[in-house]
């Protein structure tokens, strides 16, 4: 979590990753952090939503766009948001990008695959907001 | 009741503070309005989008400015 978004500016995008224990969860986390550092949006804590910390839950509700990166088809991050009635999301599942859970390993190239897919979704959402 | 307005002082933060104060007055509440402008303090609430409104430390809304009538519902 590195930056707060002011709603006075452009439509704010929040980014959340499942950050799961498996390699695909780690890749999801690394991609989300890179996106946040590159100012594509602001990463925030999924655990805070799961814990029902009001600031995280209300930020998720108030976000114009939320990009969710899940490692595997269990889609824990998307389901956690759904638990607080946040269902309008952009969604990337790492295993749908040709990366196999438990076998893909951690590399810059694998992070880049997720990063690029996420950037495509963010661009589409920017277009649809205009 | 402590009404906290979380934000760095942008136009929407100012509007939220004005409308929250109006809502509290119309409800006849005894309240203290506090503007939280320090980013570290705002992040301590878990808030990622400002402006936000908290009541006694509990965030009620973030990233938008509700109407006075809707704020009244949040303050009740």
Q: pLDDT of A86-97, one tens digit each?
A: 999 999 999 999
- For the residues A40-65, what does the mean pLDDT come to? 95
CATH code, B60:
3.40.30.10
Q: What is the mean pLDDT of residues A57-81?
A: 96
- CB A110: neighbour CB atoms within 10 A? 21
Q: What's residue A1's pLDDT?
A: 47
Per CB-CB distance under 8 Å, the chain B contacts of A45 are 46
Summary mean pLDDT of chain A: 92
Q: How many domains does chain B have?
A: 1
Is A2's pLDDT higher than 60?
A: no
Cβ-Cβ pairs closer than 8 A, A with B, add up to 84
Which of A6, A9, A65 to mutate: most B Cβ within 10 Å? A6
ipTM: 0.92
Picking from A54, A56, A63, the nearest residue to B63 by CB comes out as A63
- pLDDT tens digits, residue range B4-63? 999 988 899 999 999 999 999 999 999 999 999 999 999 999 999 999 999 999 999 999
* Phi, psi dihedrals of residue B60, rounded to the nearest 5°: -100, -30
The confidence score (pLDDT) of residue A130 equals 57
Q: Which parts of chain B are beta strand (E)? A: 2-6, 32-36, 49-50, 52-55, 58-62
Structural domain for B53, as ranges:
2-75
């Amino acid at each position: 979590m590195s930056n707060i978004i002011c709603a006075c500016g452009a439509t704010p995008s929040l980014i959340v990753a499942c950050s799961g224990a498996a390699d695909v969860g780690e890749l999801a986390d690394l991609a989300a952090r890179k996106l946040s550092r590159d100012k594509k949006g602001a990463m925030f804590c999924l655990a805070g939503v799961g814990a029902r910390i009001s600031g995280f839950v209300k930020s998720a509700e108030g976000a114009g766009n939320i990009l969710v990166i899940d490692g595997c088809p269990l889609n824990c991050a998307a389901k956690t948001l759904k638990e607080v009635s946040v269902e309008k999301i952009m969604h990337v599942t790492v295993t749908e990008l040709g990366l196999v859970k438990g076998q893909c390993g951690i590399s810059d190239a694998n992070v880049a695959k997720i990063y690029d897919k996420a950037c495509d979704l963010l661009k589409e959402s920017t277009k649809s907001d205009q | 009741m402590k009404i906290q307005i979380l934000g760095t002082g942008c136009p929407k933060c100012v509007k939220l503070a004005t409308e929250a104060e109006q809502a509290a007055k119309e409800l006849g509440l005894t309240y203290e309005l506090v503007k939280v402008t320090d980013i570290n303090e705002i992040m301590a609430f878990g808030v990622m989008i400002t402006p936000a409104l908290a009541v006694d430390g509990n965030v009620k809304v973030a990233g938008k400015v509700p109407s006075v009538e809707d704020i009244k519902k949040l303050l009740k």
